[in-house]
Structure formats: C-alpha cells, structure tokens
Amino acid sequence: MRDHPSPSSPGFWRSPVRGPRFTALLGLVLLGGVTVLFVTGLLSYAAYNPNLSAVNDKTPDKGLLGFYLFAWPTDPPWLYRLTQGVHVTLGITLIPVLLAKLWSVVPKLFALPPARSLAHALERLSLLLLVGGALFEFVTGVLNVQLDYLFPGSFYPLHFYGAWVFFAAFVTHVVLRLPEALRQFHRLRALRAERRGKGETLPERGELVAPRPADATVSRRGALGLVGGGSLLLLVTTAGRSFDGPLRATAL
C-alpha cells in the first residue's frame, strides 16, 4: 500500500498557484489594508470618549493601550461615520484577500521542525498569533456588523485587546520577514535581468512552490482575479451601508 504524504511534507501541497510572488502581492495589499483598519479602529474607540466617564469606558484595564486617546471633535459631524465606515467596509472587502493569503502560506503552518533557530521560533510564534488574531478580529467584526453576538463577553474589549495582539504579531512578523524579503527581492531582480538577457523565463523557487505541482486548473492571474472580484463584490454590496451615493442602491 502506497503511503500518502503528511501535511508536513512538501509533496502534500501540490497547487501550482502557490508561490512567493502570489503571496507577496496578497501580503502587500494586507500590509496597507490592515494598517488602515488598525488606525480607524483606534479612532472609533476614541470616539466613545472613554475618559469622559466610567460609563463610557468599556476597557477600564487598558492601561498604556489608551495612550493615544483624545477628546473626539464634534465638528465635522460626519467624522465618525467616515472613520467607522472605512473600518467596516475595508474590513469586509479584505476578507477574500485574507483567506487567499492564509491559503497561500498554509504549508508553512505544518512545516517541521517547528523551530530551527531562535529567530525562526519567534517567526513561527508571530505567525501563530498573526493567523489566530486575524481570524478572531475579522470573525468578531463581521458578527458585530450582523448583530450576531455568538462570542462570550462584550464585543468592545474583545475586539480592542484582540486588535492589539493581532497588530503586535503583524508588526513582529513584518520586521522578522522584511530582511529576507528584501534579499529575495534583490536576488530576484538580478536573476530576472540575467535571464532576460538570455531570453529565458525565470521560474519561481521557494518553500511555497510545490516540488511536484498538480495540473493547473487556474493560473495565478486567474486566482488573483478571483480574489479581486470577490473583494469588489463585497465592496459594492457593503459600501452603501456607510456612505451615500450610487452604491447605496447596491448595499445589502
């Protein structure tokens, strides 16, 4: 009987779509999007004016995490609608990008050994917190929009503290991966220039590339188009809930 490879084996993951470029592009979108989500989320929390009174303070144990709080301005009156609208709309729009990004790096979650060095151990820990934090924040955020409070406890402290854990893991992961990403980028440019001079196509290499890929059912461009189309559909059906204009008619 032929043994089947385990998820920790590179041969288990055979999709030809996975690769450094595919993952890098999704990561670049999330890098900007998650940063905007974090900032607008903090602004939305500040709009509650938790320092005004104990009734307003949903997270009395926040400590230093409330260092940025300020008195929310009363003018312009649409300011909160803008910040919260961007937060909710962008968060929902990024769901396909997040899912595609997680799918593209799922082989890394099963890679063995768990830690090859201290830096690798920190990277794996940040990745665990990053994935868990992202799923927690997006799921609780969507449930809150739908008024489905299936999670234990109040949404505000859960989402607030979860955001700090997620963003801390996000920053740690970026810092740990950035040097290697830059080295790979410069190496890729050099190899591409060399291959271009010879009229050859540069193949992708890396731990995300399947050693024995299965037959392609969709190209990487097609996969990116599918992700982008899903995000566009969510944008069209969500933006009108927060903003006026033609998208109001398409909001669900």
- 43-71 pLDDT, tens per residue? 998 988 887 777 778 888 888 998 888 88
- Select the more confidently predicted residue: 11 or 41: 41
pLDDT at 31 over 70: yes
pLDDT tier for residue 236 given thresholds of 50, 70 and 90: very high
- Compute the average pLDDT of residues 97-104: 94
- The pTM for the full model equals 0.84
Domain residue limits, the chain: 24-250
User: Which residues, at least 6 apart from 31, have a Cβ–Cβ distance to it below 8 Å?
Assistant: 174
Position 27 scores a pLDDT of 86
Element (H, E) at 167: helix 155-198
How far apart, in whole angstroms, are the C-alpha atoms of residue 217 and residue 46? 47
Position 5 scores a pLDDT of 73
pLDDT tier for residue 194 given thresholds of 50, 70 and 90: low
How far apart, in whole angstroms, are the C-alpha atoms of residue 133 and residue 109? 15
